[in-house]
Chain A
């Protein structure tokens, strides 16, 4: 599913997810736990709300001068001896990494978790070019061995049981391993430690990049981000252009709320600040540092509908609270970024056409906006996206016809009155226990999984008339 549109439909994928009992259980446990951890963390942190406002303002202020900050970042990285690459598209970004790998005879690259590299399908490209990419975040490693895709931004393997992981490790790594997370983690530690020491190239994303100092910041819990940036002789960091922030003073504002929003920790175990290649006198660290700045559809949103989605920190908090994500999980969305923010990011990166169905995979309840550390107004953008799909005639014609008819109805008082009366009469055979159920024909697709309140015996307008 690398480029373009998917072959399956959202209802098919969602249906499959709903029938998967383990997935349902795992989703409930994981999302509930993340919600609790986040809430507890912010409860004991009264300054959190003001910090969220400040973080949002920093993102907005940075976007207003994005060109200046990027230029400054690039200048500083180069001053430190790093190389900056500019990738307008996913393809260009892949080409840059492949060229670096080819020119330097890289055979194996160790990676720390990066949504940006998922976004450009880097692993497939590397394999194709004869370079072995090794994911080293435990969740990503499991996913890679199983040839699957991540199902959650920060917990990529929540859809797998320990039994499945034990089976997978036993098969892929040779051995018989007990279905115990402790044992399995130790197995991965041993297998991956060797890879860290052997790899020629380390590939990371970036949680932030500080323009003022030329620093790339990685936030991890496992320590793989540190391994990847300390041991191989080449470090390549790939980041979306919206990850740049002006100064160290800005960085600490984000650090104060990022881990709390993601996992409820005050800080993740490791926050790693990388300033270019190793310096004179240092025994360790890469000889070469490359920073790839990726656009891939981001820049054209600066002045467009999805601007606010460029604030996103990729913490995953909006996934956990979303009533749709909690039911269908990450895979059903079909693209790299799942959940409410994922719909917007997919539209940004793959075009509006790609979210024809996904734009409706939200109840617009607003829970995502409430938990977002930078208060991204996801529901507003989803509505605007739906409007756009309709205007551009990307939405299916049946949907457009129904909604345009509905619009006519609402605009004409006489037609509206008439429709209430007609509805009252027509609905009779389908009202059971005070609810509308089992509607015929096309409408039946709606009532198959939902019921509706019937048209009232006396409408508000009728009551109002009497009261006057």
Chain B
């Protein structure tokens, strides 16, 4: 079997004999990603209301359900209402320390079972238990690390206390975010991703980033659009007004 050196040598040879090349360049990259990211955040601190309107419009276009609450204290009630409406009895959520709110007590009052993924639990037993819980849950609650207005997209980083399956296995996914997460364009997302990876070990605790644009969908049978083929059938975005 060809090793790395031999494999790369063959490609190097082919690259060297390429005839008639024309000038081509890759996409321009921010020379100092941290500064570029900061500049975008400053601009959005002014423009977030327009970005939010656009997000709502695009998110609803991809069948997302948009909610708006005054502050974090109001979030548990909103989640409880969604759970009640969808008949969800079992919930799974990200670590409250990351979310900034704890919906556990409110939901328990409604008779729901809530499983919370806490940072710091990663032994094999916790792993297996969490997997079974996530698979059985009907509703998953997460934050959103970036929210892209022009496509109606929620961007979630995985990590400690923020399992990847919370937004995948349950039938209903609820993501909660504030104004500081809003971005306008994919180009801005590119800058943020560059910034995130400058020192990945510091900035990112997890190995996966998911862009979520509406519910899971397919049109594989006679091009009929059907939702919830593997992932959630419904995606809710809860916007928290208070900064």
Contacts and interface: CB of A to CB of B under 8 A. Distances in A.
Are the chains A and B members of one assembly?
yes
A144 interface: no
Interface string A198-236: 000000000000001100000001111011011100000
Contact of A64 (B7, B21, B122): B21
Contact of B19 (A189, A246, A303): A303
A140 to B, nearest CB: 8
Q: Classify chain A: how many residues form its interface, as a range.
A: 35 or more
Interface in A269-291: 269-285, 289
Contact of B218 (A222, A226, A250): A222
B230 A60 contact: no
Contact of A30 (B26, B223, B226): B223
Nearest to B221: A181
Interface in A254-272: 255-256, 263, 265-272
Interface of B: 1-4, 6-8, 10-12, 14-15, 17-19, 21-22, 24-30, 58, 62, 117, 119-122, 126-127, 130-131, 135, 150-153, 158-161, 163-165, 168, 186-187, 189-191, 193-194, 197, 200, 204-224, 226, 228-232
Given A57-B26, A252-B186, 4 more contacts: A182-B226, A189-B228, A192-B230, A223-B231
Contacts of B219: 155, 263
Given A222-B229, A247-B29, A266 B190 contact: no
B14 to A, nearest CB: 4
Contact of B18 (A88, A248, A302): A302
A253 B135 CA distance: 35
A86 B211 CA distance: 29
B126 A247 contact: no
A276 B207 contact: yes
B7 A293 contact: yes
A283 B191 CA distance: 28
A71 B190 CA distance: 23
A66 B213 contact: no
A302 B14 contact: yes
Given A273-B209, A282-B159, A64 B17 contact: no
B241 to A, nearest CB: 26
A294 to B, nearest CB: 10
B211 A271 contact: yes
A307 interface: yes
A86 to B, nearest CB: 4
Contacts of B217: 221-222, 269
Contact of A189 (B121, B130, B150, B229): B229
B213 A188 contact: no
Nearest to A84: B4
B205 A162 contact: no
- Which 7 A-B residue pairings sit nearest by Cβ, starting from the closest? A223-B231, A281-B160, A252-B190, A139-B220, A271-B211, A60-B24, A248-B193
